[in-house]
Structure formats: structure tokens, C-alpha cells
Structure 1
Amino acid sequence: MPAVIFVIKVLITIILVLMAITITNAQVLRLDAHFYNDSCPQAEDIIRETLINSIARDPKVPPRILRMFFHDCFIRGCDASILLDSTRENKTEKDGPPNISVRAFYVIDNAKAKLEMACPRTVSCADIVAIAARDVVALSGGPHWHVLKGRKDGRVSNANETVNLPAPTFNLTQLINSFSQKGLGINDLVALSGGHTVGFSHCSSFESRISNFSPQNNIDPSMDMEFAKDLIKNKCPKTNQVHDNNAGQFLDSTPSTFDNVYYKQVKAAKGLFGSDQTLYGDFRTKRMVDSYADDQNLFFRDFASSMVKLGNVGVKENRGEVRLNCRFVN
């Protein structure tokens, strides 16, 4: 009997030790706002300077970088898989249909090249995208937050997986399901939708709302009629039944400024996408739209919090690599 008790005590000790090791490893691998303080203390300054110079030459950079971050995190997690170039054997995410219009990859390339000179093999492409997304928001007048860092870059990227991105035609239930699969709730959905306060959309992304919407209505009845008529006549006119490929509309009336005007437009039935306007047509999200439209500071706080959560989706802390070139695996 004493021998049995002794064995049980030994087993308990081993289990406790293993649990301690697991907890310690989890703490070591956890993302950290100060991850590069010792290994590359100038990392964030280099990225921010690169962005400032890029925006000075191209004001479209902020919405493009922000969209890049969203589209990256919603596929395989925040692992910079959207940056990988296609090869003869594999078509990657950046060439999937929803990502054809994602631009400004060169900005990440420039930041990476500078970081490789300053701190070789140290800063991951995934962290660069996450930091850049925060900085373009702040540089556009939006909130600043501490980006948690320590992500590794993924080695896999498939164009066919881009079908999992939430579409501009999604209804609220589809949006909630899409976000929940990433561990994001309804509050995150409404707050992160506010990223549409900056940027531009081509007509193809909202044409279904202003032409042949349903057998009963040519125009989506949830859209302000005067707004719809302006889109049809001035923003998306057809020549021989075809749109100009460059035609479109800004996502809100202050497209270069990160503010809460997006929510005010949704309240006024002037949300550009069906996925925007659906937020005001359902009791589950209507109150939050009202709150953000009335209180920009509240929107800023919640957006920053939800961006941190989004940045934690599917991160590869010990299962990836630090790419030397963001377009190719090592």
C-alpha cells in the first residue's frame, strides 16, 4: 500500500511539473507590445516613417493597408499569407477574386527592406502589417493603440480560401457567423465595420443594390433613394450597359479622415454596401450604430480594442518563420 501511495505522489508531481512547463511556455509565446524592445527597438519608427513617406505620395495607402490587414487575418489568421506571391504551382491569396483590388504591397516591401538592414531576420512580415494597420489609422486622425507583437509568418497561401472573406453583400446573420468563426463578437463586428470610414469602392461591389435588386424593387429599399439616384447617374453610369472599371464611390463623405461619419451615413440609409446598411436594420446592432454615430470617442476606444482582438486571430508564434522577403517563404 505505501508503494502505491508513493507512485501516486510521483505521478502527481510529474503532472504538476508538466502543467508548470505548459504555463511557462504559454507565457513565453504570448504576444507582447514590447516584443522588439531589445532585438529591434527602432522597428515601429521605421515602419511609421515608411508609411508617412508613402502616404505623401499616394493618399490611397491608408485604406489599402487597413484592408490588407483585415483580409490577411480573416483567412489563415494574421500571418502575412496575403503577401505571398503566386507561383506556377500555386495561386496565392493575393490573386483570389476578393483580393484582386488589394493594393500597396510595395509599402510593406519597403518597410521590410529597411528593417532587414537595421535588424536582420528579426521583424516578421505579419507584425509589419499589424503595426502598419494601426499607424495608417492614427495618421488618418483615428485612435492609437499598442500593437501586440511576436507573430510569425505563415508558409501557406491559397487563393481558393478567399471565399471565406465576409462579402459586401452579406446580411447580418452571415456577418455574425463569419466573425464568430474568428472568435469575434457582435460588438467587434460593428466596431470593425467602422474601418469603412476610409477608402473607396468600385461599382461592382454595390451594383446589386442599385440595379435589379429584386423582382419587386430595382433599388434596394433600405437605401436612401436620392443617394441611390446619385450613384446611378453620377458615380456608376453605364455606357453600352457596362461600367467604367475605375468608377465608384467613397465609403463615406470624409474618405481620407478616420472618424465616425460612416455610422452617421448608415443611420441616414446611405451605407454603400449591403453589409453596411444591414447593421442599422436589426435590433442586435442598431443600438451600437447609434452609439458610435453619437460618440466618436466611444467608437475609437471600441475600434482599437477590437483591432487588438483581430490581431490575435490565428497568430503563429512558434509554427511559422520570419520571412526575409515578404513575398516568398524562406
Structure 2
Amino acid sequence: MLGGPNWSVFLGRKDSLYVAKNATEELPDPKGDLEQLRDMFGKHGLDERDLTALSGAHSVGKAHSCDNFRERIDGYGYDDIDPSYAAQLRRSCEPNCDEAAGVPFDQRTPMKFDTLYYQDLLAKRGLLATDQALYAQGSFAGELVLTYSRNQEAFFADFVTAMVKMGNIRPEQWTPAEVRFKCSVANGHF
């Protein structure tokens, strides 16, 4: 519906019966750097190509709290942000604004799955520090950002591969799990 690629989802994947209380610890810190991202994704068997491609999901969606990027736009040691973009974001986060409405990761096409997210990184217009960290000069991720910004087919192909790989990550052996009848809820709860 948003213009992105399609892929087959394998049947029989086991999902946890519940969301762990510390599930947010499994998400990257929005203020993190590339090394932290590599480590976090690596723990799940995902490499730097997977990390960079999966981050392209930020082509759509919003950050629902200015706290996720406030330090970045207020200049606390971040010099990798376009000043006019930082000023625009500061206005979005003024005391009277509705943070619940969120700030799009991709300002230009927030409802289209495309490569503008990567083009924004080249222009120092990544919303989160972890977004902008992908375009680190001399890194493999930085080379991929450049490639994806110019080649939607390469981005889509790598995104599909990474989504399938991520979908095959199994819950820990000790975690109660089941094959779900409906993906969004545990069996017996729908």
C-alpha cells in the first residue's frame, strides 16, 4: 500500500506467548551510534547490510517523542545535522506542540516507502542519531546508504532479504512459544 516490496512469509514460525517487560531493551537506543547498532543487530545474527536495509523502514512512520532526538537538535555534541532541519525540528517540539502527533522520520514522503530516507541521511537530515549514524564516512553502512539513495531496486532487494532473515529469528529456547493463528495476538486471545 505504501509502495514497498513484497516477500513471502514462512509458515510455522514460533512467536513468544507474551511481550517481555524489558522488550524495549531489544530496541536500539535512538541516541546510539553505529557501533551500538552493529552490536545489537549482530546479537540476533543480522549484519551491517541487514541493519542498514532494515533502517530504511524509517522511510515511513514517526518518532512519538521529541525526547528521542531533542539533544540532537539542541546541539549537544551533534554536528552531523543540517542547521535548518534542526531549527524546523525545534519548532515541532516547542512546548505548545502536540508530541502525540509525532514527527515523521521522512519529512518529504512520510507515507511512501522509498529511498528518500537515505537521501535525507546524505543531506544530514536524519531524525534520530541512530539514523544519521548509518552515514558514517568510510563505513560499509555509509556505502550502502549512498547505494540505496540512488538505487531503489538494490534497497528493496536487501530489505526483503533482511526482513526474511529477521523473521526467522527464534525466541530464546526457554521462552514459551507457539505458532500463532493470528500474528498479532497469542492463540486463545482473539
* 1:99 aligned partner: none
* 1:163 aligned partner: 25
Residue type of the alignment partner of 2:104: F
In the TM superposition, what are the counterparts of 1:155-234 in structure 2 within 5 Å? Answer: 155-202=17-64, 203-211=66-74, 213-214=76-77, 220-233=78-91
Is the 8 Å Cα contact of residues 206 and 273 (structure 1) preserved in structure 2? yes
* 2:104 aligned partner: 250
- SS of the aligned residue for 2:55 comes to helix
Separation (CA, whole Å) in 2 of partners of 1:313 and 1:199: 23
**Alpha carbons of 1:212 and 1:262: their partners in 2 closer, same or farther (altered >3 Å)?**
closer
**Alpha carbons of 1:211 and 1:248: their partners in 2 closer, same or farther (altered >3 Å)?**
farther
Separation (CA, whole Å) in 2 of partners of 1:270 and 1:254: 13
Is the 8 Å Cα contact of residues 236 and 248 (structure 1) preserved in structure 2? no
- SS of the aligned residue for 2:163 comes to helix
Confirm whether residue 277 of structure 1 aligns to residue 139 of structure 2: no
State the Cα distance separating 1:162 from its structure 2 match: 2.4
Separation (CA, whole Å) in 2 of partners of 1:186 and 1:328: 32
Q: String of CA shifts for 1:49-86, please: whole Å, max 9, x gaps.
A: xxxxxxxxxxxxxxxxxxxxxxxxxxxxxxxxxxxxxx
Residue type of the alignment partner of 2:131: D
Aligned residues: 182
Is the 8 Å Cα contact of residues 266 and 280 (structure 1) preserved in structure 2? yes
Is the 8 Å Cα contact of residues 236 and 247 (structure 1) preserved in structure 2? no
- How large is the RMSD of aligned CA atoms in angstroms? 2.3
Separation (CA, whole Å) in 2 of partners of 1:307 and 1:279: 18
* 2:170 aligned partner: 314
Is the 8 Å Cα contact of residues 59 and 113 (structure 2) preserved in structure 1? yes
State the Cα distance separating 1:323 from its structure 2 match: 5.0
**Alpha carbons of 1:184 and 1:324: their partners in 2 closer, same or farther (altered >3 Å)?**
closer
Is the 8 Å Cα contact of residues 170 and 274 (structure 1) preserved in structure 2? yes
Residue type of the alignment partner of 1:168: P
* 1:299 aligned partner: 155
Separation (CA, whole Å) in 1 of partners of 2:145 and 2:73: 23
Q: String of CA shifts for 1:150-172, please: whole Å, max 9, x gaps.
A: 11332343212421211211100
- SS of the aligned residue for 2:14 comes to coil
For structure 1, the residue ranges without an aligned partner over 5 or more in a row are 1-138, 215-219
Separation (CA, whole Å) in 2 of partners of 1:300 and 1:322: 28
Separation (CA, whole Å) in 1 of partners of 2:178 and 2:148: 39
Taking structure 2 as the reference length, the TM-score comes to 0.86
**Alpha carbons of 1:254 and 1:327: their partners in 2 closer, same or farther (altered >3 Å)?**
same
Residue type of the alignment partner of 1:269: K
Confirm whether residue 267 of structure 1 aligns to residue 125 of structure 2: no
Separation (CA, whole Å) in 1 of partners of 2:90 and 2:23: 33
Separation (CA, whole Å) in 2 of partners of 1:229 and 1:247: 18
Indicate the structure with greater helix content.
1
Taking structure 1 as the reference length, the TM-score comes to 0.51
Separation (CA, whole Å) in 1 of partners of 2:180 and 2:162: 27
Is the 8 Å Cα contact of residues 93 and 99 (structure 2) preserved in structure 1? no
Paired-residue identity, %: 39
